[in-house]
Structure 1
Amino acid sequence: MKWWWSGLGLFLLAAVMVWFKPQRERAHGPMVEEVYVWQRVWGKDVYEAVKTHGGEFERIVVLGVEMDYGKSSGWTVQYFKDPISYAGEHEGTGLAIRVGSGAAATRWNKEAIAQVIQVVESLPDNLKVIQIDYDCPSSKLDDYVQLIRILKQMFPKRQYEVTCLPDWLDQDAFQALVTSVDGYVMQVHGLIGYGSAGTLCDPEKAKVAAERCGEYGKPFLIALPTYRHAVRLSNEGQILQVVSEGGGLRAGAEYHLASADPEEMAALVSEWTESRPELMRGIIWYRMPVTSDRMNWTWGTLDAVRKGGTPIRDLSVIAEKESDGLYEVSLVNRSLMREDWPKKIKVFIDGGRIMGGEGAHGYAFTQSHDGCAELRWLAQDPRPMLPESRLKLGWVRLEGAEGLKVVLSD
């Protein structure tokens, strides 16, 4: 009967261990907050933003170098003087080296590693933290680990961080990668795979990624978006162009928007402030608001979201009578947020008829069979409406009508 008692004992022991399985530790309270400054050339507005708001964050990470490899062109390396100088002059600033996906073709052979070593050697001596932002294919993480290990051997006084993507969590080499670095950033925003339905970040997927990161034994940050993508598609729905920094817009082309939602980001901040994985140090925002960067939030929006709230939206459309039968239609943004352009503005009349009209500033006027009309956004300029601004969108001429009503419509 000893075997029976022995088996029963093991069963009871296993049951007790499952019942009393310790829960993973949780962190509570305020988080570390860092911010990216991703401009390659710094004008007065970038310096002003960094000077005015940089102190609000634990650390600033600037984009200092971009490099990529092509089979026919070889290596291309661009150094950005302004951010590199800033990082060298301001202790504690992190510097990002952006590496394109073409580098994966090298399998990080000796020649490829030598290119990165040359870049690191050229950076200011007092620069302590280098963050590598590499578009590494998930299947090539093993090669990436070798690059990091060699850099740490060559430059042991520097700290190395990497940016990561959620699908890397499914790769066996992910553990080796995060073990080889001093810290990492999990990027839960992007056009493909992380956002849906016009948003750049799916909050539920972001929370799942954060919990999974907490299992790898290495402190990490979560990168959250503040920007928007303008996407130009082919007739077949394929992506032809992605614009996220305002330049390179094609005249006359139609763009689809994918934007960071302030309310959803604020909810994530609140939830993680209350409870998060113990190893989640906090958030790094992509990117610092700059007055000239209309594809990004304003500082007022980011400041509110950081505190778990959002600025009050106040977007309205008005029609004002200019002369007999002629009305001017204007859009008014009274909030501190940049606002997306309404897709449609419906025009209704009380009696009489609409004789005609014309759109302006990216809107086209059309009449419908029911006697109404609309101003339709042509989606040709995805840069949002400025805070506290007013813009004329067109005019409408009536005959025999007692009044006109305009309504925002999506």
Structure 2
Amino acid sequence: MTSCKRIFAASLLLLCLGYGLHILFTPSQSLRFDQQVYIWQRVWTAEHPEALKRSRPLFSTLRILGMQFHPQEGTRHFTVNTSLIKQDGRPVWLVARLDGQLTRFNNQQVIQHIQQTLREWQKAGITLAGVEIDYDAPTAKLPEYLTLLSALHQVLPTNIKLSVTALPTWLDSPHLARLLRIADTSVLQVHNVLSPEKGLLDASLAQRWVKQYARQTTHPFFIALPAYGSALTSDNRVESEAPLYVAEGMRELSVSPQTIADFIQYLEQHPPRGLQGLVWFRLPLAGDRRAWSLTTLEAVIQHHPLTPRWSLIIAQHADEQLFDLAIKNSGEIDAPLPKKIILPNADCLFADGASHYQVQPGSSSLNFARVSARQLRAGESSPLGWARCNQKLQGEFNVIP
């Protein structure tokens, strides 16, 4: 009997050791972060209801721009569709933006405007989680900014948290630690315009910023990520909301979905202490051509493959020799139109390009070459041109990205 007990005890010990070694040496699953989104449009349109509806499975919380303090324009309160937000039901952060050009501001007036909007939104039935102050403060202005934050925090109700948008340029400031102690939480902005070549995100630099930031804050924090493009003007000002036709002649800045996906994967595999989640800038509307489509944003968040897929659309006329052609983005990510689309073994008499393409001569193929760039959203199509051919086009094609 004693021998059996010893054998049982030894077996149990080996089993526990084996399980412990399995836990110790098995790679842990990567962390999935909370996903939130900024609603930054200054004018609410008929596109917002559908965008909010489609975004519900993706984002737990909405951070909505409610007001802006500007040195020339003064204080602007934006008319938010509060009934729509109440119906949506998700927690909301009121975002108050202080323009970076502000050299001074009246703390009492800023606080009064914030309190007024909080009361209006609460009266409208919005579930308020907190107030976020978005101020691209010069580092030298941080002491004054601290005074505002401290005064605001003292008057906020206990159920309303205070958050700040933090800049990487503050990382070496001796005032940053105190600022982060005043706020209940914060959002580190890692997208930046360093140069047109670097685009909106330098991943290696952003990783370094996040590590530095995590060492300085004792409160939970989020990271703001870009899901849009911008234009850089001749004097290096950034236009993120100007329509594309207005921004002609400017240098386009963007960030690829794959770059962001790789950065998120790094964060999930090496989660910094205190990092709670990601806040995306900004909620895409159907007419917002600078923002990624919601389909692309979802693909990045859900870790789907980010490879473009192209389909050729061939429409035959009543005249059986006449065809209209278009290229369709059948994948999950927005992608630039291909540089060249080749239909091999196409016996065509005449052809002409349309929209962003022109026809190039080919002895036994029909070739469409891109003459102007365009980002084609997932699910959208763009005309290639037309062709008159001796035989029906079969749909075989090759793409040169």
Take 1:81 and 1:393, find their aligned partners in 2: how far apart are those partners?
40
Q: Do structure 1's residue 212 and structure 2's residue 203 form an aligned pair?
A: no
AA aligned to 2:380 is S
Could you tell me which runs of 5 or more consecutive residues in structure 2 were left unpaired when the two chains were aligned.
Answer: 1-27, 123-127, 390-395
Take 2:54 and 2:344, find their aligned partners in 1: how far apart are those partners?
49
SS at match of 1:288: coil
Take 2:86 and 2:71, find their aligned partners in 1: how far apart are those partners?
26
SS at match of 1:361: coil
Partner of 1:99: 98
Partner of 2:393: none
SS at match of 1:337: coil
Partner of 1:291: 286
Take 2:342 and 2:314, find their aligned partners in 1: how far apart are those partners?
9
Over 3 Å counting, the alpha-carbon distance change for 1:249 and 1:113 in structure 2 is farther
Partner of 1:282: 277
Deviations 1:191-215, CA, capped at 9 Å, x for gaps:
x13x763642222222111111110
Alpha-carbon contact 2:132-2:162 (below 8 Å) kept: yes
- TM-score, normalization by structure 1: 0.72
- Pick the aligned partner of 1:43 from 36, 42, 45: 45
Partner of 2:147: 146
Over 3 Å counting, the alpha-carbon distance change for 1:29 and 1:376 in structure 2 is closer
Q: Which residues of 2 match residues 112-123 of structure 1 at below 5 A?
A: 112-123=106-117
- Pick the aligned partner of 2:331 from 335, 350, 357: 335
Partner of 1:377: 371
Q: What is the CA-CA distance between 1:349 and the residue it aligns to?
A: 9.2
Over 3 Å counting, the alpha-carbon distance change for 1:375 and 1:196 in structure 2 is same
AA aligned to 1:93 is V
Deviations 1:250-275, CA, capped at 9 Å, x for gaps:
28x34543333222222232332233
Partner of 1:4: none
Over 3 Å counting, the alpha-carbon distance change for 1:146 and 1:85 in structure 2 is farther
AA aligned to 1:394 is G
Over 3 Å counting, the alpha-carbon distance change for 1:142 and 1:330 in structure 2 is same
Partner of 1:155: 156
Q: Do structure 1's residue 266 and structure 2's residue 258 form an aligned pair?
A: no
AA aligned to 2:135 is Y
CA RMSD of aligned residues (A): 4.0
Over 3 Å counting, the alpha-carbon distance change for 1:46 and 1:348 in structure 2 is closer
Partner of 1:14: none
Partner of 1:315: 310
Take 1:155 and 1:332, find their aligned partners in 2: how far apart are those partners?
51
Take 2:92 and 2:130, find their aligned partners in 1: how far apart are those partners?
7
Q: What is the CA-CA distance between 1:359 and the residue it aligns to?
A: 4.2
Identical aligned residues as a percent? 25
Aligned pair count reads: 360
Partner of 1:176: 178
Alpha-carbon contact 1:196-1:202 (below 8 Å) kept: no
- More moved, 356-365 vs 170-179: 356-365
Could you tell me which runs of 5 or more consecutive residues in structure 1 were left unpaired when the two chains were aligned.
Answer: 1-25, 399-404
- TM-score, normalization by structure 2: 0.74
Take 1:376 and 1:55, find their aligned partners in 2: how far apart are those partners?
37
Q: What is the CA-CA distance between 1:219 and the residue it aligns to?
A: 1.6
Partner of 1:137: 138
Take 1:283 and 1:264, find their aligned partners in 2: how far apart are those partners?
15
Partner of 1:200: 200
Partner of 1:386: 377
Over 3 Å counting, the alpha-carbon distance change for 1:374 and 1:387 in structure 2 is closer
Take 1:174 and 1:397, find their aligned partners in 2: how far apart are those partners?
67
Take 2:262 and 2:237, find their aligned partners in 1: how far apart are those partners?
33
